[in-house]
């Protein structure tokens, strides 16, 4: 008894101790896990533009707006107006016109936001400006036809658009644009308050998600993922962190989560971050993300081409953490628990074999017929644990779950599966507002048939062809109590982008941070 409790407390302290930063796995870890990313432009607000800047003007149509606080004389205004006419620039969203040699400005960049722009359209104009100016080293001033406080929306977009991940480049590295960016308007303190109260923390959350997903799998693995999140949240009020290590999960009977990671020398983790904002006394909403830090397919090994992109198979978990960072750092009056189901899926002598039967913590049995259908396995145990330990009022899963969703929706929408109409409607609305859009796909009761096992309660992959994204969703839903409102987002088509858009540079997108942040605030 004494031995047992000693052992238990040793395991518990292991589970709760901050993860060691040192790499413990032989033959890897050549790169430190906490390297600082490249400098970004500092964002500020002022009533007057500083001298010596590249000037950006946010336009809503073809007419140059009055630009209080910006030194632009009559002759220079005439020159800009003539250039607008010559180029037929109309100020529509997504358009730009770059001018050089006007007055003393090294560059004047006009960026279209369209007529009566929404907050999102203003952000997109800001993002476009950031990307157009990414190789300019001088400071920047941004003015234009936005209201006094909407400068914060443009700044938010600028923050998302200027993201870069180049910390491992040591040769031919472009000089980072270190000059500050100043947003010029009549109410700089109002704009600054709007920015720091909402958009700056959200941009930080998106940056965390992108960083975690862009980092290679020799740097971000379950333990270092936990460490990076702890570091980001250190000292943030209202936050409490729970970490289960493999021994703790095994004790709890979490056979599907532990099973996925057992082919890897890097231990699995279940990371749970609760954030309870002031004035929120009700049950939390749970966001549960797939955190496969590398998906080789396990013994159901994937083909080599493109396997490197599977370092991003923890994008769901990364975006959950990004949303929690945003909500906590902006002190939002909400109650959420963010969960990352972290494991590395590797082939090995100790890996689980196709045909193995495992058990979740509730005792449900799974015939594991395909080791590459691992995301649904880690989510099964993660959902059961959060339901039991935190009694959430709703559960939203987010996961790079299936290749099939890419075939259905490409990179235009994430797939939404929901058993609860109200939650589905709230998610779709949050998608529209945030700019991270969802398209609903079916969950039909007939799909249960395709996932039946001869020897266990369910199998993790259907035989033959089928509606792959829906079958994956069905599997996850099998482990969630029907009475709990539940939705699942399949982000396999949107977590990575081949080309830059205004708010999302090429690479890992951080999809889901803005959406989940908006969802939590939309009650
Ligand atoms: N992580 C993959 C899904 C994926 C595919 C993400 C492409 C991003 C881009 C997932 O674990 C997987 O391998 N899914 C299988 C499921 C199948 C075995 C039932 C798939 O989609 O082929
Ligand atoms: Zn996967
Ligand atoms: Mn897989």
pLDDT in the model for residue 201:
98
Q: What is the mean pLDDT of the chain?
A: 92
Which CATH code for domain 202-521? 3.40.630.10
Kindly state if the Cβ of 402 falls inside 6 Å of ligand 1.
yes
Question: What is the position in ligand 1's atom list of the atom closest to the CA of 462?
Answer: 19
148 φ/ψ sector (left φ>0, alpha ψ -120 to 50, else beta): alpha
Q: What is the mean pLDDT of residues 73-78?
A: 96
Of 373, 376, 461, which is best to mutate to test ligand 1, by the most ligand atoms within 8 angstroms of its C-beta? 373
Q: Is 484 in the pocket of ligand 1 (CB under 6 A)?
A: no
164-187 average pLDDT score: 87
Taking the centre of ligand 3 as the mean of its atom positions, its distance from the CA of residue 295, in whole angstroms, is 6
Q: Which of 261, 379, 401 to mutate to test the pocket of ligand 1 (most atoms within 8 A of CB)?
A: 401
Look at residue 23 and tell me whether its pLDDT is greater than 60. no
Q: What is the pLDDT of residues 453-489, one digit of tens each?
A: 999 999 999 988 899 999 999 999 999 999 999 999 9
User: From the CA of 313, how far away is ligand 3's center (Å)?
Assistant: 8
Atom number of ligand 1 nearest to Cα 297: 13
Architecture category of domain 43-185 in CATH: 3-Layer(aba) Sandwich (3.40)
Quote the ligand 1 centre to 466 CA distance (angstroms).
14
Q: Which of 210, 376, 450, 496 is catalytic?
A: 376
CB neighbour list of residue 96: distance below 8 Å, 6 or more residues apart: 109, 110, 111, 112, 128, 129, 132
**Which two tokens mark 142?**
């941004």
Of 285, 292, 326, 291, nearest in space to 436 by CA: 326
Q: 370 CB less than 6 Å from ligand 1? A: yes
Average pLDDT over residues 30-48: 75
Q: What is the rounded distance in angstroms from the CA atom of residue 186 to the CA atom of residue 149?
A: 9
* pLDDT higher than 60, residue 47: yes
Exposure on the CB side of residue 252, measured as CA atoms within 13 A = 24
Closest residue to atom 16 of ligand 1, CA basis: 373
Among 352, 345, 379, CA closest to 472: 379
Q: pTM for this structure? A: 0.93
Enumerate the β-bridge partners of residue 339.
272, 288
pLDDT average, residue stretch 96-121: 96
Residue 311 annotated in active site: no
Cα of 220 vs centre of ligand 3, distance in Å, is 18
- When mean pLDDT is compared across 64-73, 173-182, 271-280, the lowest value belongs to 173-182
Q: Whose CA is nearest to atom 13 of ligand 1?
A: 372
Q: Does the CB atom of residue 319 touch ligand 1 within 6 A?
A: no
Over residues 284-308, the pLDDT tens digits come to: 999 999 999 999 999 999 999 999 9
Among 92, 250, 302, 521, the one annotated catalytic: 302
Ligand nearest to the CA of 298: 3
Tens-place pLDDT, residues 351-371: 999 999 999 999 999 999 999
> How far, in Å, from the CA of 294 to the mean position of ligand 3?
9
Hey, whose CA ends up nearest to atom 5 of ligand 1? 403
Q: Rounded mean pLDDT of 422-445?
A: 97
Phi/psi at 442 (nearest 5 deg)? -80, 155
Mutate to test the pocket of ligand 1, among 402, 411, 462, 512 (most ligand atoms within 8 A of CB): 402
pLDDT band at 16 (very low <50, low <70, confident <90, very high): very low
Q: Find out whether the beta carbon of 316 lies less than 6 Å from any atom of ligand 1.
A: no
- Residue 242 burial class via C-beta count within 10 angstroms: exposed 0-12, middle 13-18, buried 19 and up: middle
Specify the ligand 1 atom closest to the Cα of 300: 18
Q: How confident is the model at residue 279 (pLDDT cuts 50, 70, 90)?
A: confident
Instruction: Calculate how far, in angstroms, residue 265's C-alpha sits from the geometric centre of ligand 1.
Output: 22
Residue 400 in contact with ligand 1 by CB distance below 6 A = yes
In Å, the largest CA–CA distance within the chain is 88
Confirm whether 128 is a catalytic residue.
no
Q: What are 17's two structure tokens?
A: 């101790």
3-class SS at 503?
coil
At 267, is the pLDDT very low, low, confident or very high (cuts 50, 70, 90)? very high
> Which ligand has the nearest atom to the CA of 370?
1
pLDDT at residue 171, as a whole number: 85
Tell me the per-residue pLDDT of 149-163, one tens digit each, with 9 for 90 and over: 799 999 999 999 999
Q: Is 322 in the pocket of ligand 1 (CB under 6 A)?
A: no
pLDDT of residue 327: 98
- Checking if the pLDDT of 33 tops 60, the result is no
CATH 3.40.630.10 maps onto the chain at: 202-521
Beta bridge partners of 43: 181
Q: Ligand 3 mean position to 464 CA, how many Å? A: 17
List the alpha helices (DSSP H) in 164-314.
188-194, 200-214, 222-233, 246-251, 255-261
The closest of 454, 270, 285, 302 to 373, measured between CA atoms, is 302
Residue 424: predicted pLDDT: 98
> What is the pLDDT, as a whole number, of residue 148?
76
Residue 260, pLDDT > 50, answer yes
Pair 157, 206: CB distance under 8 Å: no
Q: How far is the CA of 375 from the centre of ligand 3 (A)?
A: 7
Q: CATH 3.40.220.10 occupies which residues in the chain? A: 43-185
- The pLDDT tens digits for 304-334 are 999 999 999 999 999 999 999 999 999 999 9
């Amino acid at each position: 008894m004494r031995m047992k409790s000693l052992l238990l407390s040793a395991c518990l302290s292991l589970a709760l101790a901050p993860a060691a930063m040192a790499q413990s796995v032989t033959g890897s870890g050549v790169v430190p896990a906490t390297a600082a990313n490249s400098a970004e432009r500092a964002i500020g607000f002022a009533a007057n533009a500083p001298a010596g800047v590249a000037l950006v003007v946010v336009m809503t149509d073809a007419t140059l707006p009055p630009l209080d606080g910006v030194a632009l004389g009559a002759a220079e205004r005439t020159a800009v107006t003539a250039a607008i006419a010559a180029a037929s620039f109309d100020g529509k969203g997504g358009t730009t016109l770059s001018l050089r040699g006007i007055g003393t400005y090294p560059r004047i960049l006009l960026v279209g936001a369209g007529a009566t722009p929404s907050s999102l359209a203003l952000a997109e104009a800001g993002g476009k400006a950031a990307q157009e100016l990414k190789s300019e080293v001088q400071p920047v001033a941004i003015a234009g036809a936005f209201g006094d406080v909407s400068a914060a929306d443009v700044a938010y977009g600028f923050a998302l658009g200027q993201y870069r991940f180049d910390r491992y480049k040591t040769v031919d590295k472009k000089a980072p644009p270190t000059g500050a960016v100043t947003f010029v308007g009549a109410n700089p303190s109002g704009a600054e308050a709007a920015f720091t109260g909402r958009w700056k923390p959200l941009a930080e959350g998106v940056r965390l998600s992108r960083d975690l997903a862009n980092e290679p799998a020799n740097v971000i693995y379950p333990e270092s993922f936990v460490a990076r999140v702890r570091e980001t949240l250190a000292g943030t009020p209202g936050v409490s962190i729970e970490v289960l290590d493999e021994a703790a999960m095994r004790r709890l009977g979490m056979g599907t989560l532990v099973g996925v990671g057992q082919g890897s020398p890097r231990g699995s983790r279940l990371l749970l971050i609760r954030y309870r904002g002031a004035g929120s006394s009700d049950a939390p909403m749970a966001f549960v993300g797939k955190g496969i830090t590398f998906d080789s397919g396990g013994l159901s090994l994937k083909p080599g081409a493109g396997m490197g992109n599977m370092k991003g198979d923890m994008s769901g978990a990364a975006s959950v953490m990004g949303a929690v960072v945003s909500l906590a750092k902006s002190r939002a009056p909400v109650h959420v628990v963010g969960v990352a189901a972290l494991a590395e899926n590797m082939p090995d002598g100790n890996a689980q074999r196709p045909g193995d039967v495992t058990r979740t913590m509730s005792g449900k049995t799974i015939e594991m017929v395909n080791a590459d259908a691992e995301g649904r396995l880690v989510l099964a145990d993660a959902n059961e644990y959060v339901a039991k330990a935190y009694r959430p009022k709703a559960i939203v899963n987010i996961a790079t779950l299936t290749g099939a969703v890419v075939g259905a929706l490409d990179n235009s929408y994430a797939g939404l599966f929901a058993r609860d109409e109200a939650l589905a409607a709230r998610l779709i609305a949050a998608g529209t507002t945030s700019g991270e859009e969802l398209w609903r796909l079916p969950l039909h009761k007939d799909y249960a048939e395709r996932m039946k096992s001869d020897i266990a309660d369910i199998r993790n992959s259907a035989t033959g062809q089928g509606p792959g994204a829906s079958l994956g969703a069905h599997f996850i839903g099998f482990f969630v109590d029907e009475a709990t409102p539940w939705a699942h987002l399949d982000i396999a088509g949107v977590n990575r982008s081949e080309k830059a858009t205004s708010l999302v540079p090429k690479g890992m997108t951080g999809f889901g941070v803005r959406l989940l942040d908006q969802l939590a605030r939309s009650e």
